[in-house]
Structure 1
Amino acid sequence: MLVVQSLAVALMYMGLALVLYVLGLFGYRVTLHPLSRYSGPPLGKFTDCYSLYHAALKRLHLAIWQNHLNYGPVVRLGPNKLVFNSITALRDIYNNERLSKSRAYLVAMQAPGVHNIFDVLDKQAHRAKRKLIGQALTQRSMKSFEPIIIQQTNVFLKIIYESSRGPATGAINVTPPCKYLGFDIVSLLAFGQPLNTLTTSKNRFIAGGIAVGNFFQNVRMQYPRLAQLRLTEALNLFANVRKARARNRALVEKLITDRLAEGVDARHDLYSIVAGSIDTKGNGNIRHSEFWAESLFFLPAGGDTTSTCLAALFFYLSRNPICYKKLCEEIRTTFTSGSEIRDGQQLRSCEYLRACIDEALRVAPPVPGALWREQPPTDRVEEEIVIDGHVIPRGTQVGVSLYSLHHNSEYFPDPFAYKPERWLSHTSETQRSAMHEAWSPFSLGPRACAGKAMAYMEVSLLIGKTLWYFDFETAQGVEGQLGAGKEGDTTGRDRLSEYQIYDTFGTTHDGPNLVFHAREETIWELLKEAAD
């Protein structure tokens, strides 16, 4: 009995000590912490659980935007996190050689000690990887790869044509085929092998697997202690996510194994470019090779992000008849046949097409959240780091939410309106200069997205060819509401005219549902090519 009483007393004191520790820690973070003078959501001052909560609901980008409205251009999002919403901060953070990627990115590592271009923190290692991988994504390399992009684009268009011949009220949800197109193209670019997700269902699970994998990693990145303490494994959280990721990894492993069995120069693809410079075998274990790590990043980065821009473009064009009519006129007067629509001077002369794409990337950035940066422990420079006039204490993570910045009315008047015209010459020079500085869907600095040329080519070709062969409109009734906001929603999704994206570091989305009508005067070109 005495032992039990002693144990009870010990547990009581331990509990009391824990309570005092937590109260002391919270008190310090609110009153004495170097970031205590910054405003932000109350829970965020105490714990990163605030970011964890909103990341789990896939709306962290909306929470950050609302916090900027409430607290101003600098928000304390977590105990050691400051998120900014200004052009100056964008430059000061992402063009700063003294800042590196946050250590939170390490939770994305696919194998111990094996980094890819996404999660590598060391700047020299990143530069080497960027230089190497970038060779497959240059404008010149994309030009040689263009026939494959056009071929896959035509497969997409033929599927749209066959679907459009169904019931009169039949609508097509454009998100799935846009995702499948992206994965088929990037698979050919990376491994020289098709996934054929556009035409068969066999490998379509990869889209869902990548979506839940991105969500899982984003949750852990916002609250890295989940990974450090292996809480998700201990509590058996996200078991379905692990199964989906395992299935995706098995597919990638097969793609790599099949490609390694061929000669290095058998195809012009990522492997043929990098084989001589990185470890492709992993000392007998493919999953410990650099090629494995890069491939696991390459698929979502090249295949998933472009679909967000395409789906947003379809959404906004179908709901803005003036924009739709103007873009149709530009495409249909610039070209005389569908085969002319290819990368080159003619396509690049379509200024309104470029404006429509840039505006879609503004309102629906493929990576809407903050890309966290921090001063690495190896930085011994005594001079303080200053972000937009704010001295940043060591140990602070800093970032800019692209969604919040792209909807900052100081730079983009009427920020939730889809206005491609804002990018054209009739906008004042001062306003256009501010917009171009604030617009950053590919990020900037040495960590900027290497796939910019590929994204523009893919999107320009698909939208140009779609408008050449088809007219489209929003589906009627409830079907036509897919992808839009909902009136009365209290989570920031109440704007009916805004295409809804869900923050998973990248994005997930659904819709819009569109009805396509083949143009009799041009569709024969596509059908003739199919017959040939």
Structure 2
Amino acid sequence: MYSTFIPIASVIAFLGYFVIWPVIVYFHDAKGFRKYPSINAIAGFTDLGFMYEATKGFRSKRLSELHQKYPVIRIGPNSLSFRGVQAIKDIYGHGTGCTKDIFYSTLAGTHFHLADVVDKAEHARKRKVLSAAYALKNLEGWEHKVADKTEKFIKVCDAACTAPLKPGSNPDPADVTFDYRKYTNFFTLEAIADIGLSEQLGFMEKGTDACTAERMDGTLYTVPGARAALHEGSIAQTCTIWAYPWYKWNIYITKLFSRRYRDMWELSDNWSDLVYHRATKRLARYEAGEKLDDFFQALMEDKNGQPHNLDWGEIVAEISIMMNAGSDTTAIALVNVMYQLIKNPKVLKKLRDEVDAVLDEDEIIAPYEKVKHLPYLRAVLDESLRLAPPSSFGLPRRTPVEGCSVGTEYIPGDTTVSISAYVAHRDDTVFEDPEAFTPERWLGEKARELQAGFVAFSAGARGCIGRNISYLEQTVLLASVVHRYEMALPSKSWVPEVREGTNLLMKEMPVKVWRRTRA
């Protein structure tokens, strides 16, 4: 009797929890969310709806299409996506009552880092410690580290150069040998490792991102690809995280039934071990008495040499987010802007004219002092960040217990709310002809007004603390490259393959590259 009862009871319990109760909650509609259109047929009933959209590879594009018609989209039983400048202010702006969503604490490790800490007081403490490291005066002092990585990038680019392309023709496939995506990612990983930890990774010289990792027990091993470890782990997380209470269960299930997910979760562990080894190596140098001008030193001590006495777990967490966000978003920005420039030769010519006017003809590495205030260069960078924001997904926030207004809507408390940067940057009430690559929009009389809708680095007190590092790297490398080279895509009709994790990742961008010849 019991052998029959147990499986029947299990089926009833399963149906009750996963089917019947969600249907009851949906139709009871305590928060009044049924009035909002859903991203798909099941999103109002279960978070599996948004998880399904994530597995398709580009959920923000689907959201953008829906937001052309609707200001609010339901993406889960208790999750809403918005569009509009006022909604940006209400969710992310200074003085918002919204806090970081459960999303962040669900993904956090043993210690929070600056990007996932939820408590506002704890965030303020962390930001105070880290602000010295990210201060603009420090960054300009670290320009030589960016210049060094730019020089290495140029050497690889020089080695890949071929004969000039004949006008109007597609390149010979044998000449399309330089993967711009790959090497911009090598560039940013090397730059942030040097800026943050005074470590030379050597990826560009070796042509590979294989590197040593370390498990918590001290075991060393080789990770075959740092980029794959970072990207695949991110995709695995963002396909499974959205049902927060089930996240650990989702990891177990996907490992059990999917070889692809098993591989992705293993790569995620590789990334953690790769970061841990970087941290232990740098700690050993610190304990040996080396005083190095880097981010780690600023984590350990203030400018007067007084120790911050941070937990080791917190230090490792901050190094992890520095290596992650500090490399990948900038690499994505660099490859996207070059793609847009190749596709828009008039913009490229205008940019080159501006850069050539301040650089000597034989100048190889663009000095930051010469190019940091070039208006069209900055406009090109910002327009590319607008059209293809590296961090595209909607950074989730939680409404306060008493609820709050978001845009024109009153939203009850304890609701997840968000705005995808990809959606915000296609708001035609802010950006005229939003799908066009038009750097000039950032130079006109209305340029200041556009900033309210520009969230490539998020907004408010939680805005990206590393934006100055990113602009430094983007400015120096892009100016150096357009001054020295011509590039062509595999064909005029070539478009990149993209997939979305937390960031909007371009898989690869093979180009033909050759040296410029000028009259």
Q: Structure 2 length normalisation: TM-score?
A: 0.86
What displacement does 1:510 show? Answer: 2.5
Q: How far off its partner does 1:216 sit?
A: 2.2
Task: Report what 2:214 is aligned to.
Answer: none
From 242, 254, 271, the equivalent of 1:248 is: 271
C-alpha contact (below 8 Å) 1:59/1:502 kept by paired residues: yes
Structure 2 CA distance for aligned equivalents of residues 218 and 482 of structure 1: 24
Q: Aligned residue for 1:267? A: 292
Residues in 1 aligned to 2:311 and 2:123: alpha-carbon distance in whole angstroms: 20
The verdict on how the C-alpha distance between 1:258 and 1:20 changes in structure 2, with shifts beyond 3 A counting, is closer
In the other structure, the counterpart of 1:442 is: 457
Hey, what's the Cα distance between the residues in 2 that align with 1:396 and 1:471?
50
Matched, 1:336 2:360: yes
Structure 1 residue 33: Cα displacement = 3.1
Q: In 1, distance between residues paired with 2:271 and 2:255?
A: 23
Q: Which residue of 1 aligns with 2:467?
A: 452
Matched, 1:224 2:241: no
Which amino acid is 2:438 matched to? K
Find the aligned partners of 2:478 and 2:244 in 1 and give their Cα distance: 39
1:161 aligns with 2:158: yes
Please list every run of 5 or more consecutive structure 1 residues that lacks an aligned counterpart in the other structure.
283-288, 484-499, 523-532
Hey, what does 1:389 align to over in structure 2?
Answer: 408
Tell me how far apart the structure 2 counterparts of residues 434 and 31 of structure 1 sit (CA, whole Å).
42
1:408 counterpart residue number: 427
Helix, strand or coil: the match of 1:199? helix
SS in 1 for 2:486: strand
Q: Kindly provide the CA deviation profile for residues 273-299 of structure 1, in whole angstroms up to 9, marking residues without a partner as x.
A: 1113555663xxxxxx21111111111
Find the counterpart in structure 1 of residue 81 from structure 2: 83
CA contact (8 A) 1:107 1:220 kept: no
Equivalent residues of 1:174, 1:311 under 8 A apart: yes
Residues 147 and 225 from structure 1, CA distance in 2 versus in 1: closer, same or farther, beyond 3 angstroms? Answer: same
Q: Closer, same or farther in 2 for the Cα pair 1:27/1:323, shift >3 Å?
A: same
Question: Which moved further from structure 2: 357-366 or 264-273?
Answer: 264-273
Q: Indicate whether 1:320 and 2:362 are aligned.
A: no
Change (3 A) 1:243 1:520: same
Deviations 1:64-120 (A, max 9, x none): 1122134x1111111001110100000011124421110111232233xx1111221
Offset of residue 331 of structure 1: 0.8
Can you list the C-alpha shifts for 1:328-354, whole angstroms capped at 9, x where unaligned? Answer: 11111222252672222x313321111
2:151 touches 2:365 (CA, 8 Å); kept in 1?
no
Is 1:170 the counterpart of 2:170? The answer is no
Shift of 1:58: 2.4
Partner SS for 1:411: coil
Q: Which residue of 1 aligns with 2:216?
A: none
Moved more, 406-415 or 461-470: 406-415
Please give the secondary structure, in 1, of the residue aligned with 2:204.
Answer: coil
Question: Could you say if the C-alpha distance between residues 273 and 420 of structure 1 is closer, same or farther in structure 2, counting changes exceeding 3 Å?
Answer: same
Residue 310 in structure 1 maps to residue 334 in structure 2: yes
Report the more deviating stretch, 36-45 or 143-152.
36-45
Q: Does the 8 Å contact 2:366/2:477 carry over to 1?
A: no
- Give the deviation of 1:20 after TM superposition: 5.7
Distance 2:103 2:382 in 1: 30
User: Aligned partners of 1:339 and 1:513: how far apart in 2?
Assistant: 23
Amino acid at match of 1:461: V
**Cross-structure match for 2:23:** 26
Q: Hey, what's the Cα distance between the residues in 2 that align with 1:47 and 1:160?
A: 49
Distance 2:100 2:114 in 1: 11
1:257 pairs with 2:280: yes
Give yes or no for contact 1:55–1:222 (8 Å, CA) kept in 2: no
Q: CA RMSD of the aligned region, Å?
A: 2.5
Contact 1:265 1:272 in 2 (8 A): no
Offset, 1:220: 3.4
Task: Report the counterpart of residue 493 of structure 1 in structure 2.
Answer: none
1:183 is aligned to 2:189: yes
Select the residue among 196, 214, 229 that pairs with 1:209: 229
**Distance verdict in 2 for CA 1:435–1:13, change over 3 Å:** same
**Kept after mapping to 2: 8 A contact 1:371/1:400:** yes
Give the % identical residues: 22
Give 1:25-174 correspondences, 5 Å limit.
25-34=22-31, 35-41=33-39, 42-70=41-69, 72-95=70-93, 96-111=95-110, 114-165=111-162, 169-171=174-176, 172-174=178-180
Counterpart Cα distance in 1 of 2:9 and 2:34: 30
Paired with 1:217 and 1:134, the residues of 2 have a C-alpha distance of 29
* Residue 455 to residue 37, structure 1, CA distance change in 2 (3 Å): same
For structure 1, which segment, 260-269 or 300-309, has the greater mean C-alpha deviation from structure 2 after superposition? 260-269
Q: In the alignment, is the contact (CA less than 8 A) between 1:373 and 1:397 conserved in 2? A: yes
The DSSP-based 3-state class of the residue aligned with 1:29 is helix
Identify the range of structure 1 (178-187 vs 467-476) with the bigger mean alpha-carbon deviation. 467-476
Q: Is the 8 A contact 2:490 2:512 kept in 1?
A: yes
| Match for residue 203 of structure 2 among 164, 178, 197 | 197
Offset from partner CA, 1:108-148 (integer Å, 9 cap, x none): 2233xx11112211111111112222322221111110001
Moved more, 298-307 or 502-511: 502-511
Does the CA contact (< 8 Å) of 2:254 and 2:262 recur in 1? no
- Residues 150 and 365 in structure 2, CA contact (< 8 A), matched pair in contact too: no
Partner of residue 349, structure 1:
373
Which residue of structure 2 aligns with residue 369 of structure 1?
Answer: 393
In structure 2, distance between residues paired with 1:13 and 1:187: 55
TM-superposed CA distance for 1:15, in Å, is: 4.0
Aligned to 2:494: 481
8 A Cα contact 2:230 2:324, kept in partner: yes
User: Aligned partners of 2:81, 2:277: CA distance in 1, in Å?
Assistant: 41
| Equivalent runs, 1:493-504 vs 2, <5 Å | 501-504=498-501
Pair 1:10–1:275, CA change in 2 (3 A) = closer
CA distance in structure 2 between the partners assigned to 1:173 and 1:14 by the alignment: 53
SS of residue paired to 1:82: strand
Distance 1:279 1:374 in 2: 31
Q: 1:12: how far off?
A: 4.5
Q: Paired residue for 2:487? A: 472
